Amino acid sequence: MPQLTHFATPCPEPINSQILQMVVDNLTDISMVGIAPSNPLYNVYQYTVGYEVHLYLEALSGTKGIAVELIVATDDEDPETVVGFLLYLPVKDDPEACGVAYMAVQASHRRRGVARAMLQDMLGRYPHAELTCTVAKVPWFESMGFQVLGVRGTQVLMNTRDHGTEGLMGLLDVTFIYSSLEVRQIHTYLLQKHGKRAMIDAEKQRDRHLDQMTRNAKAFVLDRLSKDADRGPRPD
């Protein structure tokens, strides 16, 4: 089993670096866009999502006005190697509630209970937890005690209870990243490398993919909630 370490303050730089590399390596799973490596825009999202996670890791210092906590899983045989991380946001005015922001496990350590161990650790601290995931991941999160509540963009909204918290969850404003000089430079490089037509096609492909993910999530949730309503309320 992995060794778990909980952080409510900044973690050592070697851990930060490995987490950010894990984000780059597992972008399709982590990003709500779910963009494939074959899409030329993949490099743009590697930078933007990586920067988002970087900002939340910085927020562990308490200087950004939001609460952030982190669980890091390291290899039981090599404790210097990060094999998974779970970054979540405690909810203000509700000491039992939190929201999952980012979670990833190294491909080499999947199906070894790493994600399950990290989530169980988090739920031991905050039993009223909320997250979003793709339709394909719903059964796994249900096995962890989450239930379907609704739709949020391209994702299925899930919670460990049949309602969301009434407290406030602090979020960072990351919209500036997408219009930053660095993103414009990456886009210019990709334009030169692939050409205007290829980049237009890449944007259309991304948009079609997002539309399909949204339709799938809405259809799944509608069907699931209808079936739940037919079965009646769950026993306490």
Backbone angles phi, psi at 85, to 5 degrees: -150, 155
In tens, the pLDDT along 2-20 reads: 899 999 999 999 999 999 9
Beta bridge partners of 210: none
In tens, the pLDDT along 91-139 reads: 999 999 999 999 999 998 998 899 999 999 999 999 999 999 999 999 9
What does the pLDDT read at residue 229? 78
Q: Give percent helix, percent strand, percent coil of the chain, each to the nearest 5.
A: 50, 20, 30
| Tokens 């909204």 belong to residue | 157
Residue 169 host element (H or E) = strand 168-169
Q: Is the pTM of this model over 0.85?
A: yes
What does the pLDDT read at residue 81? 96
In tens, the pLDDT along 175-193 reads: 999 999 999 999 999 999 9
Residue 233 pLDDT greater than 70, yes or no = no
Q: Look over the chain and give the mean of its residue pLDDT values, rounded to a whole number.
A: 94
Give percent of the chain with pLDDT exceeding 90: 89
State in Å, rounded, how far the first CA of the chain is from the last one. Answer: 33
What does the pLDDT read at residue 113? 93
What does the pLDDT read at residue 230? 76
Please compute the mean of the pLDDT values over residues 52-61 and round it to a whole number.
Answer: 97
What does the pLDDT read at residue 2? 87
Homologous superfamily of the 3-161+173-230 domain (CATH): Gcn5-related N-acetyltransferase (GNAT) (3.40.630.30)
Asked if residue 68 lies in contact with residue 87, where contact means CB atoms within 8 angstroms, the answer is: yes
Domain ranges of the chain: 3-161+173-230
Cβ count near 182 (within 10 Å):
12
Residue 236 pLDDT greater than 70, yes or no = no
Residue 222 pLDDT greater than 90, yes or no = yes
What does the pLDDT read at residue 169? 92
